[in-house]
Structure 1
């Protein structure tokens, strides 16, 4: 080991359960230390999520660690999330290791020998990041006290011990039962694991802090562990990791649809990458709602079919629920329809999976809205793409020739009928190709992040208002990049005000006078960084 290396500061965020706010708090600490000039990286050994992202090198990783990397001001890379599980059915998931899909595995098979096999990838990625950064913010998953899963743990206390990282235990006080969940978690972890927990944070607090003080005093006296923060309930636009967040999607302040565009997104059972629509939700003149039942569909200004982790199963859901027939009718009535990735595939005449790459189904008839067919192949296409807009009809007419950027994650290949015009001309890894298709007021593309393109999004919304015979009430908003930076800074300010950062620094081994330059980085190359499996 290089003699110029002093140490890398570490902090791990674990929770008493899922959805207590670990991901967002980890992002907050990433931004706080980034603002102070440190070279920071996030890390989560194993992530289970349907929202994923493609790195510049073509690796797939969980969206939450991408957000944390953005908060830390660094480029996302697969070492930050070496193991990604993407649920593809009731009892199975697609397993992604160091950015590469390994196929579908049942939960029973994964939680055993297969999971133990992944531990070397976790340690290699973890130590690589520790070598290359001054501070690493580590996130756990679920709860460290899930005794039925502890024997094969690769994401909670085993990581804390491997990294020798202090742990902050987070509880969601908005749910109720937070005190019991903290005490119960501490009772169920092993003594050496309990010793790693150096502080407690209560998250999502609503009310007067003075009324909570007796409970805080009790916890400190009962556990001997200090409460280092009480973070208030907040609504700051930070992309969500889990589809649980969709249950809160309707909490946006109600505004008359005379003042907002009505955009309906079909919520498939296996919906993926719903963060594609955050940019639309950020617009003040847009109301985005998620639809699961025919009775709630109505006649929106725009209907979106999102990505899917199990396209054939979700397409069958459309047919069986009656939503498919209604979507076809709305398309015939010229209601604009946009499909992204899996939703794009469903809009064709059929989706075929002869090798059972994604499910047990071999073929399902599509909605027949776009003149194309799709067939699945074992090799997953994961790239970041950049190109130009070819289409010149409808809203595309206002941005033809503009640059468009996004990323692709799909296993299907769609073939359009002859004589059709694609939407985009894209380039990735030196290869140029076309993407997307339009038929009437229906549009489809494989490009995730399409609505993050500010000029295209603005052109779409202005066109939708014109279809109403109105001028768009909001002519321009901040760019998505500016909104994201503003949200990160607002989040960091809130956590600074709510958490005893000096105590957290002491827990991490950062003295009051520690500067970024005091944490010398280890510059020897990490041989496993680009490991291919």
Structure 2
């Protein structure tokens, strides 16, 4: 495989001066065409080729967050891409994160900390003019520290109503001196029209920046596509660098709730020899990647439910995290799912609440400052004697600790917290997690208790995201549920972290096989050396 020489990918030149990193940018004909996974693949490929590589997305809109080692919040896709690069994630990789709180309004997170809640018009008119400098500074720091920076665009570069204040697509490509690869999703249909239409809308200098096309999510015999590819190359004057077949079974995170539909999570009940785990799909569900490891467990059926008709007879019900706990609790109540959940628990069923779902399990939610809603107080599910007050200051921390209640053995755990609320107990209760709030302070012995658990261990909640990514904890917890259902116990832990690393390599191998990586190196070399 050909690559750039050291000088052209940001290595030190003969005079000892480090040149800015080479860049390559993936833009899409639309949202959800697979840019994030293709960026992840290129990150892994460049790492395998010996390059120091980092991902970058200037502005991301996502309810799936990732907490960096220093306790900051970025989009989960950039955290995953950093993992594929084998490096720690930083906020420079995603300096601006938008987290929708309600229709047409989002929390604006800048370099990992909440700045303000804004509606779409105010953000566009009043904040975007300031955002360009933040984006360029972050990008320049990455280019000074790495050999290659792989940049992900957002949505489509052909949104003519957004182009004058663009910080995510073609203007960013210019700031980054980045050649652009245009990604299109053939699975949704109309791929040739999407590519040609996008190219027609671009300005001449923007079309010049596009150096190649990648067609993604192909299913079928690629030879049948050849006449169309030949026509496309002649029509737009750009090479098709690859047709990437659809690749399933990856243990890699999705960016937003729309992907739950694309991934085809089933809503049918499990068979009698499986554990049936139902996750309530809240309208503002966040960090649903918490449950990815459960999907990989043998003998477990994981499903997402939105309606009472989908309830079935679950063994375990999970109430997930939420970007708006108050409104999602109202949804739970108005949809009839609250009644089914409480009946499930009263009849001895298992239930778990994560973050916002854990907050709902208390007696009430208090929001005197209107942090999440216009309701100053809302009754909770009253499963535990606790109250949650929403605060303006956000907690974002990585945590480590031990699980000390409800299982047959003490189990070490790690994860992260992202929440606006502070929970207090109105009377003593068993708390299952003894955790340390920051991995940056490992010499400290300052532990505190987290979560709540019923005396029989069947119902519990916690602020800890990614709790199910802990293999031993997940293994023991599922076996307890299997034992109570009379199912055979799993003897071997499922190594989710190792499966995830294997998925990075599998994705990289797949893209190497179907995309001209040598041509991408040549494109980066030509553009970034001003040839």
TM over 0.5: yes
Measured in 2, the distance between the counterparts of 1:207 and 1:220 equals 21
Aligned counterparts, 1:327-366, within 5 A: 327-366=341-380
Measured in 1, the distance between the counterparts of 2:87 and 2:420 equals 28
Measured in 2, the distance between the counterparts of 1:363 and 1:253 equals 33
| Superposed displacement of residue 428, structure 1 | 2.2
Matched, 1:298 2:312: yes
Measured in 1, the distance between the counterparts of 2:159 and 2:493 equals 45
Task: Summarize the Cα distance change of 1:323–1:251 in structure 2 as closer, same or farther, 3 Å threshold.
Answer: closer
In the superposition, the TM-score normalised over structure 1's length comes to: 0.92
Measured in 2, the distance between the counterparts of 1:168 and 1:365 equals 51
Matched, 1:505 2:521: yes
Matched, 1:317 2:312: no
Tell whether the 8 Å contact from 1:9 to 1:510 is kept in structure 2 after alignment: no
Matched, 1:453 2:470: yes
| Superposed displacement of residue 245, structure 1 | 1.1
Measured in 2, the distance between the counterparts of 1:309 and 1:329 equals 26
Tell whether the 8 Å contact from 1:45 to 1:81 is kept in structure 2 after alignment: yes
| Aligned residue in 2 for 1:194 | 207
Aligned counterparts, 1:333-412, within 5 A: 333-391=347-405, 393=406, 396-398=407-409, 400=410, 402-412=411-421
Say which of 484, 491, 504 aligns to 1:475.
491
| Aligned residue in 1 for 2:430 | 421
Query: What secondary structure is seen at the aligned counterpart in 2 of 1:234?
Result: coil
Task: Summarize the Cα distance change of 1:33–1:200 in structure 2 as closer, same or farther, 3 Å threshold.
Answer: same
| Superposed displacement of residue 299, structure 1 | 2.2
Alpha-carbon displacement from aligned partner over 1:77-125 (angstroms, at most 9, x marks no partner): 1110000000000110000001110121111111122112111110010
| Superposed displacement of residue 250, structure 1 | 3.6
When structure 1 is superposed on structure 2, of 102-111 and 452-461 the one drifting more is 102-111
Measured in 1, the distance between the counterparts of 2:449 and 2:270 equals 39
Tell whether the 8 Å contact from 2:401 to 2:433 is kept in structure 1 after alignment: yes
| Superposed displacement of residue 202, structure 1 | 0.3
| Superposed displacement of residue 206, structure 1 | 0.8
Measured in 1, the distance between the counterparts of 2:20 and 2:325 equals 47
Question: Runs in 1 of length 4+ with deviation above 4 angstroms?
Answer: 251-256
Task: Summarize the Cα distance change of 1:327–1:256 in structure 2 as closer, same or farther, 3 Å threshold.
Answer: closer
Query: What secondary structure is seen at the aligned counterpart in 2 of 1:195?
Result: helix
Measured in 2, the distance between the counterparts of 1:331 and 1:85 equals 36
Tell whether the 8 Å contact from 2:277 to 2:316 is kept in structure 1 after alignment: yes
Query: What secondary structure is seen at the aligned counterpart in 1 of 2:188?
Result: coil
Say which of 61, 78, 83 aligns to 2:96.
83
Tell whether the 8 Å contact from 1:198 to 1:507 is kept in structure 2 after alignment: yes
Matched, 1:465 2:482: yes
When structure 1 is superposed on structure 2, of 302-311 and 416-425 the one drifting more is 416-425
| Aligned residue in 2 for 1:531 | none
* Higher relative contact order (CA closer than 8 Å, sequence separation 6+): 1
Aligned counterparts, 1:144-223, within 5 A: 144-223=157-236
Measured in 2, the distance between the counterparts of 1:427 and 1:211 equals 57
Measured in 2, the distance between the counterparts of 1:262 and 1:256 equals 5
Aligned residues: 506
Measured in 2, the distance between the counterparts of 1:344 and 1:54 equals 19
Task: Summarize the Cα distance change of 1:181–1:249 in structure 2 as closer, same or farther, 3 Å threshold.
Answer: closer
| Superposed displacement of residue 418, structure 1 | 2.7
Measured in 2, the distance between the counterparts of 1:384 and 1:271 equals 20
Say which of 266, 283, 289 aligns to 1:269.
283
| Aligned residue in 1 for 2:511 | 495
| Superposed displacement of residue 253, structure 1 | 12
Matched, 1:102 2:115: yes
Task: Summarize the Cα distance change of 1:249–1:496 in structure 2 as closer, same or farther, 3 Å threshold.
Answer: closer
Tell whether the 8 Å contact from 1:144 to 1:156 is kept in structure 2 after alignment: yes
Say which of 26, 45, 49 aligns to 2:58.
45
Tell whether the 8 Å contact from 1:249 to 1:289 is kept in structure 2 after alignment: no
Measured in 1, the distance between the counterparts of 2:229 and 2:283 equals 40
| Aligned residue in 1 for 2:450 | 435
